[in-house]
Structure 1
Amino acid sequence: MENLLFFMALASPVIMILGIAIKFYRISKMPLNLRWEIYPVPHETEQKRKYGGSYMEEFDWQDKKPEKHFIGEIIEPLKEIFYLHRVKKFNPYGIWIWSLALHWGIWLLFLWMGILLINGVFNWEITSKLDFIAYFSYTLGIIGSFGLIMKRFFTHDLKIYTSGIDYFNLLFLLFLFTSGLLTIMKDNGSDQFLAYVNGILNGSIPVEELSTITIVHFVIFELFLIYIPFSRFFHGPVKYSTFHNILWNDMYQIKGSTEEKKISEQLNYKVGWAGPHILSQQTWLENAKNTNLHEKI
């Protein structure tokens, strides 16, 4: 039992990191996605961001190096990560508050686990003073995951688009946060957490000193780490590629560039689906040249 728990504790973060790295590598090798080219883009100047302007408005823009402001590209993702402003602004089903609670529960959970690790490595005795972070994490996580389950189940327009895996993921998180809250609420809750982490650092988890719910919580957390790269939880890390390569990429094409070569290659892909405006089994380039949209040639 101790050996299995110790192996899972060591293997789970390694599998998560390797899984994420492999996913990003596979994404980098995928065909180029269609750029959205929806303005404003955050790396434009503040003046142009106000009305959705572009560097291409400038005279002889092609002879100048585009001026980019990377502060905007930092602020915009942070607004999405910590405030979910797109969910609040565009989702009409009232899930923002529940989704925000769930995401903050997850962020604080990783912070709490980091505090436990730091405490164990440096022996700083800080967990008892910072255990309020655990209470916030588990409480927010329970509220968020349970609220989203109810929203998806009882809101018709959400229910018809919610698959079984969506319910499984939310229940998985609900069990994770509930087991954590039950552990921290024990009289020696912080000590239980610290004993588990210290056991990992010392090479032997003291199972006999731990409650069943503590062990269950850490096992679920470790399974969560393993599950992240291979599940829809990966939507967080992959947003970097979506934002920078699809939503915000407005660079003009340079003749002979690697990107142009990729586009030329992809234009020769054959279309494998049919439609009144599509020449099935013809290339994308042939389809693009077909101006008779409703006539087969």
Structure 2
Amino acid sequence: MGNLLFIIALASPVIMILGIAIKFYRISKMPLNLRWEIYPLPHEAEEKRKYGGSYMEEVDWQDKKPERYFMGEIIEPLKEIFYLHRVKKFNPYGIWIWSLALHWGIWLLFLWMGILLINGVFNWEIASKLDFVAYLSYILGILGILGLIIKRVSTHDLKIYTSGIDYFNLLFLLILFTSGLFAIMKDNGTDQFLAYLNGVLNGGVPVHELSTITIVHFVIFELFLIYIPVSRFFHGPVKYSTFHSILWNDMYQIKSSTEEKKISEQLNYKVEWSGPHILSHQTWLENAQNTNLHEKI
């Protein structure tokens, strides 16, 4: 049993990292997405960000290297990650506070696991002094999940768009946070966490020294790591591509560039679906050139 737990503990982060890498590789090979170019863009100069301006307003802009405010592209994602400001601003169903609690529960859970790892690797006695991070993580996670479940069940517009996998994911996280809270609340909860992690670092989990709830919590956490790349939890890592390649990319197309070649290739894709304005089984280019939208040619 101890050897199996040891293997799962080592394999789970490796599988997560490889899974995320494979996902990003596949995304890089996908057809180009339509750019949104919704201004203001965070990488524009401050005076242009105030009113949604663009470098293309400048005289002879094509002959100049566009100035980029790179801190804007760092600050904006951080606001989304740690504050969910788009959810707060645009979601009308009151889920922001619950979603924020859940996300902070997850961030703090990873921080807590990092604290345990540092404690074990460097033999620093910090876990017992920082175990409030674990309590905060588990409590915020549980409150956030319960709030989101209630909102999704009681709000009609949310309920009709919530699928079975959404409820599964929330229940999965609820078990993760609840098991962690019960484990850390034991008299020697932090010591149990350290014993598990030290066992992994030393080549074998001491099963007989650990409580069942501690083992269950770590196994669920490791399954969570494995599940991330193949689940909707992957929306976090993939936001980088969404923001930088779709939302904010306003670079002009250069003759004979890789992007131009991809666009030319995609314009020759066949349209395999139908509609009153679509020429089925013809290329996207032929569809774009068809000005008789209501006449099939």
TM surpasses 0.5: yes
Q: Which blocks of at least 5 consecutive residues in structure 2 are unaligned?
A: none
Deviations 1:241-297 (A, max 9, x none): 000000000000000000000000000001111111111111000011011111111
Tell me whether 1:240 sits opposite 2:214 in the alignment.
no
| Counterpart residue identity of residue 32, structure 2 | L
Alignment map for 1:125-274 (pairs within 5 Å)? 125-274=125-274
**Alignment partners' CA distance in 2, 1:222 and 1:63:** 52
Structure 2 match to 1:294 = 294
**Alignment partners' CA distance in 2, 1:59 and 1:12:** 54
**Alignment partners' CA distance in 1, 2:7 and 2:85:** 39
Deviations 1:201-225 (A, max 9, x none): 0111111111000000000000000
Matched position secondary structure for 2:128 = helix
**Alignment partners' CA distance in 1, 2:8 and 2:101:** 28
| Counterpart residue identity of residue 72, structure 2 | G
| Counterpart residue identity of residue 145, structure 2 | S
Matched position secondary structure for 2:119 = helix
**Alignment partners' CA distance in 2, 1:154 and 1:8:** 38
Q: Which blocks of at least 5 consecutive residues in structure 1 are unaligned?
A: none
TM-align CA RMSD: 0.5
Deviations 1:93-143 (A, max 9, x none): 111000000000000000000000000001011111000000000000000
**Alignment partners' CA distance in 2, 1:261 and 1:66:** 23
**Alignment partners' CA distance in 1, 2:74 and 2:37:** 19
After TM superposition, give the deviation of residue 72 of structure 1 in Å: 0.1
After TM superposition, give the deviation of residue 147 of structure 1 in Å: 1.0
Q: Percent identity?
A: 88
Alignment map for 1:4-15 (pairs within 5 Å)? 4-15=4-15
After TM superposition, give the deviation of residue 80 of structure 1 in Å: 0.1
**Alignment partners' CA distance in 2, 1:286 and 1:133:** 59
Matched position secondary structure for 2:204 = coil
Matched position secondary structure for 1:33 = coil
Deviations 1:166-221 (A, max 9, x none): 00000000000000000111111110100000000011111111100000000000
Tell me whether 1:65 sits opposite 2:65 in the alignment.
yes
Structure 2 match to 1:123 = 123
Matched position secondary structure for 1:129 = coil
| Counterpart residue identity of residue 239, structure 2 | K
**Alignment partners' CA distance in 1, 2:112 and 2:29:** 35
**Alignment partners' CA distance in 1, 2:198 and 2:239:** 34
**Alignment partners' CA distance in 2, 1:147 and 1:8:** 32
After TM superposition, give the deviation of residue 59 of structure 1 in Å: 0.3
